[in-house]
Structure 1
Amino acid sequence: MNLQNGFLLSYLKYGDHDAVLYCFTEEEGFQTYFLKGIYAKKNKKKALLQPLNRLSFTVNPVKGNGICTASRLELVNNYDMYTDVKINTIVFFISDFLNQILREEHKNPGIFSSVAEFLEVLSHHNYQSHLIFLIKILKIQGVAPLSADGKYLDPETGTYSSGLNHQLFTAEISELWKHIMSSQQPYGIKIPVSLRKDFLDSILVYYHYHITDFSIPASLEIIQQIFE
C-alpha cells in the first residue's frame, strides 16, 4: 500500500456501489483507480467525488495489468467553490479538458503545482483564470508560441508574423497571447469580457494544432455561456 495525492479529473460509476476514478497524481501523473463501495448508502465519502477535488488516498497494487484499488479517500483542500455557478462551470470545463490532454502524462510537478495554483486563483472569483491556465499548460509542455516582433500569431507554426494567418488570431488576440506568455504574474492580466469568447476559441484552435488527437471538450458550449 502507498499513499497518493491527486486531483480528480473524472469518474464513472461501476455497478451499484463502486466507481472508477481518473486522477492526476503528484507522485505518478495520470492514473486510473478502482474505488469500492463509494456509492453504498452509508458511505458519506461519495460527496468527495467532485471534479478537481484534491484527494489523498491509499493505493493497493494489483498483480498483472489490473487497475489498482484506492481506499481511505480524504479531501486535501476544501475551497468550497461549488455553490458559485460560474466557478462550478469553469471547474467542470477544466477537469474535462485535463482528463483528455493528460492521459499520457507521467509525473510532472510543474503541471501538478499549476493546477493547485489555478484552483487557488479561481477560488477568489477570477472568472478568466482558466484562460490563463490553459496557456500556462502549453508552456509547461513546451509547445507554447515563440515570442517575436510580429503582430499576428500563426497558430499552426506557433510563431508571430507580419500578416494575419487565422481569422481568430487578430492583432488584439495575438497581443494578449504574447502578454500572458511573457508576464511574471499572468493571472493579474485583465482580459476584456468582450474578447474572452474569441480568446478561448483561439486557445482551442492552438491546442488542435499542437496537442495530438485533441478534440473539443463536450463542456465547451456550457462554459461559453458565462461570457454572454
Structure 2
Amino acid sequence: MIVNTNAIVISVLKYGEADLIVKCFTQKSGLKSYLLRGILKSKKGRFKVSMFQPLTQLELVAKHKDKGSLEYIQDAKLIAHYQSLHTNVVKSSMVLFLSEILRNSIQEEEQNEELYHFLENTFNWMDVHDNIANFHLLFLLKLTRFLGFYPDTSQAEGEYFNLLEGIFQDIKTNEYCIEGGNLQLLKLLLGTNFDELNAIKLNQSARSNFLTMLLGYYLVTY
C-alpha cells in the first residue's frame, strides 16, 4: 500500500556498508522503520543523509506492507526547515537526548494524531527559542500524557508524589514517594506551558535532580 504521510525521524541506524534503517513516527501510521539502500555511498541518489537527522520533519511517500518488516520510502522532502535545531551545539545535544527517549518510549504502530502534533509543535517551538535549559523537563512531563501515565492531579495538594502510582498523597507509603524541591518543581511544571518556561529559574543541580526523578518515573511506570 502506498501511503502519503508526514513523519518525524526518531532514530537512524547504519546497516551494512551503505544502508540506513530510519525509524519514524508517522502521522498516519504510527511508528515505522524504513530501509534506505545505498544512501551512504550514493552521491546522486534521490535522498541525502542530512534529511534523516533525528527529529527532522518530512513528507513521505512510502510503501507500507504493514507486516512488521522494514518498509520502503519512495519519496521524501523536508516540511520544516529548522533554523537551529541541528546547528546549535546545545540544541543538537538535546535533540539526541530526546530522540533516544522517544526511541525507547513510543511503541505505537497505529495513528495517533495528538501525539504527532505534540511532537511537531514542540520541536518547532524549540527551534525558534534560545532559552531551552528547562525544555526537556517540561517535554518529558507533557509526553507522559500521550504515553498513558500523566500524573493524576486530583489531589495535587498532597505532600508527596508517588512515582509508582502516579498520584499525589499526604503520607509516604513507599520508597518511590518524592517530596521537597522535586515535588514543588513538579507541581509548578504541571501548570506551565512552554512559553512560560523562561520564568522558571533553576540551577544545574536542581535541574539534574528533577531529570533523574523524571527518568525514574518513566522506568517504574512505563
**Shift >3 Å, 4+ stretches:** 61-66, 163-168
Change (3 A) 1:14 1:188: same
CA-atom RMSD in angstroms: 2.2
Measured in 2, the distance between the counterparts of 1:187 and 1:110 equals: 20
Measured in 1, the distance between the counterparts of 2:179 and 2:169 equals: 12
Render the CA deviation track for 1:9-30: whole Å, top value 9, x for unaligned.
1122223332211110111111
How far the C-alpha of 1:82 sits from its partner, in A, is: 1.7
Identity between Structure 1 and Structure 2 (%): 25
Measured in 1, the distance between the counterparts of 2:178 and 2:214 equals: 10
Letter in 2 for 1:157: E
Structure 1 stretches lacking a partner, 5+ long: 212-228
- The residue number in structure 1 matching 2:202 is 192
- The residue number in structure 2 matching 1:92 is 96
How far the C-alpha of 1:56 sits from its partner, in A, is: 1.6
- The residue number in structure 1 matching 2:71 is 68
Do the aligned residues in 1 keep the contact of 2:32 with 2:71 (CA within 8 Å)?
Answer: no
TM-score by structure 2 length? 0.85
Report SS of the residue matched to 2:60.
Answer: strand
More displaced stretch, 62-71 vs 5-14: 62-71
Change (3 A) 1:89 1:168: farther
Determine whether 1:182 maps to 2:186: no
Do the aligned residues in 2 keep the contact of 1:45 with 1:73 (CA within 8 Å)?
Answer: no
Render the CA deviation track for 1:156-201: whole Å, top value 9, x for unaligned.
1212223455588332211221222234x25513151341101101
Which of 158, 161, 175 does residue 150 from structure 1 map onto? 158
TM-score by structure 1 length? 0.82
Change (3 A) 1:167 1:206: closer
Do the aligned residues in 1 keep the contact of 2:161 with 2:177 (CA within 8 Å)?
Answer: no
- The residue number in structure 1 matching 2:17 is 16
More displaced stretch, 111-120 vs 161-170: 161-170
Determine whether 1:132 maps to 2:138: yes
More displaced stretch, 134-143 vs 60-69: 60-69
In the comparison of the two structures, how many residue pairs are matched? Answer: 210
Change (3 A) 1:84 1:65: closer
Determine whether 1:48 maps to 2:51: yes
Measured in 2, the distance between the counterparts of 1:188 and 1:128 equals: 11
Report SS of the residue matched to 1:199.
Answer: helix
Change (3 A) 1:24 1:169: same
Structure 2 stretches lacking a partner, 5+ long: none
Letter in 2 for 1:153: F
